[in-house]
């Protein structure tokens, strides 16, 4: 730096504006290029204290293939479905990154911020993904890294799939539909078989020690059975004649 000196001046002041690290070093003064330089002085430029206040980010969930329900305590997702956890913040600074914290694991997932947000994708949920999630936004300003406060924890519940239950119910229903007609067919067939079976009728007339069977087919040469049938028939006829005679006598007595 050079500045002219008038005959009436005995000193000159040099001013450094907006001092930064490039102004740091040793300085000397001389009246002319050929005069002796003064003793050097060292100037050290310290870093300016920078304070950045980041707003608290937001956290939300999306289910690309469905299976997401909102219960009284938080989101509920069916096991086996995919899920996206979205972290976002206000447009304070460009760039930065988001950290996804999960209390069920010691690892932290990190994604670069794109349009002040980042999406964390879980392709297939199981019960190990159930728990509390939160987001933290981080940004670097003037070689200093700043982090926001964590979001309020988002509690995620993973529910069992209903597909096996529905499948077992369908199998049971199909089994019942197949068994009931078979049972009805067997019962009906047994009933018809009993109706067409010949019935054996046994008769033992009073005063006779022999039993006669009616309705059974006569076998050739069975003369004793035929004789018994004939004698029983004759006896019944005589009894009928006696009953008729007694009835006639009663009628005559009534008329008299």
Q: Is 138 found in the same domain as 102?
A: yes
Q: Is 184 found in the same domain as 90?
A: no
User: Of 114, 146, 161, which marks where a domain is finished?
Assistant: 161
Distance CA(217)–CA(204), nearest Å, equals 18
Q: Is 21 helix (H, G, I), strand (E, B) or coil?
A: helix
- Model confidence over 17-72: pLDDT tens digits? 777 777 788 888 887 766 777 777 888 776 666 678 899 999 999 988 888 888 88
Asked whether residue 254 is assigned to any structural domain, the reply reads no
Q: Is 176 found in the same domain as 118?
A: no
Q: Is 106 found in the same domain as 95?
A: yes
Asked whether residue 236 is assigned to any structural domain, the reply reads no
Q: Is 109 found in the same domain as 191?
A: no
Q: Is 131 found in the same domain as 152?
A: yes
H helix intervals, the chain? 163-195, 223-255
Range of the domain at 180: 162-195
Q: Is 69 found in the same domain as 152?
A: yes
The tokens describing 235, both together, are 């006896």
Write down the pTM of the prediction: 0.47
- Model confidence over 204-240: pLDDT tens digits? 444 444 444 444 444 444 445 555 554 555 555 555 4
DSSP code for 128: G
User: Of 141, 175, 195, which marks where a domain is finished?
Assistant: 195
> Can you give the CATH number for the domain in which 129 is found?
2.60.40.10
Distance CA(118)–CA(121), nearest Å, equals 10
Asked whether residue 189 is assigned to any structural domain, the reply reads yes
The tokens describing 90, both together, are 């206000």
| Residue 235 · residue 205 · CB < 8 Å | yes
């Amino acid at each position: 730096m050079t500045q002219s000196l008038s005959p009436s001046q005995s000193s000159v002041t040099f001013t450094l504006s907006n001092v930064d690290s490039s102004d740091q070093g040793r300085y000397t003064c001389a009246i002319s290029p050929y005069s002796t330089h003064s003793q050097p002085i060292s100037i050290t430029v310290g870093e300016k204290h920078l304070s950045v206040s980041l707003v608290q980010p937001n956290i939300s969930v999306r289910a690309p293939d469905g299976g997401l329900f909102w219960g009284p305590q938080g989101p509920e997702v069916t096991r086996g479905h995919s899920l996206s956890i979205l972290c976002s913040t206000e447009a304070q600074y460009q760039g930065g990154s988001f950290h996804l914290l999960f209390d069920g694991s010691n690892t932290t997932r990190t994604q670069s911020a794109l349009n002040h947000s980042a999406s964390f994708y879980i392709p297939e949920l199981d019960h190990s993904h159930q728990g509390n999630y939160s987001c933290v936004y981080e940004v670097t300003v003037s070689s200093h890294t700043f982090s926001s406060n964590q979001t309020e924890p988002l509690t995620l519940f993973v529910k069992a799939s209903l597909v096996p239950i529905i499948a077992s119910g369908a199998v049971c229903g199909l089994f019942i539909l197949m068994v009931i007609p078979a049972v009805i067919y067997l019962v009906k067939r047994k009933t018809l078989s009993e109706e067409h079976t010949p019935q054996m009728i046994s008769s033992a007339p009073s005063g006779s020690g022999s039993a006669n069977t009616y309705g059974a087919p006569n076998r050739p040469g069975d003369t004793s059975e035929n004789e018994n049938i004939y004698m029983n028939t004759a006896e019944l006829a005589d009894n009928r004649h006696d009953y008729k005679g007694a009835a006639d006598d009663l009628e005559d007595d009534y008329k008299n």
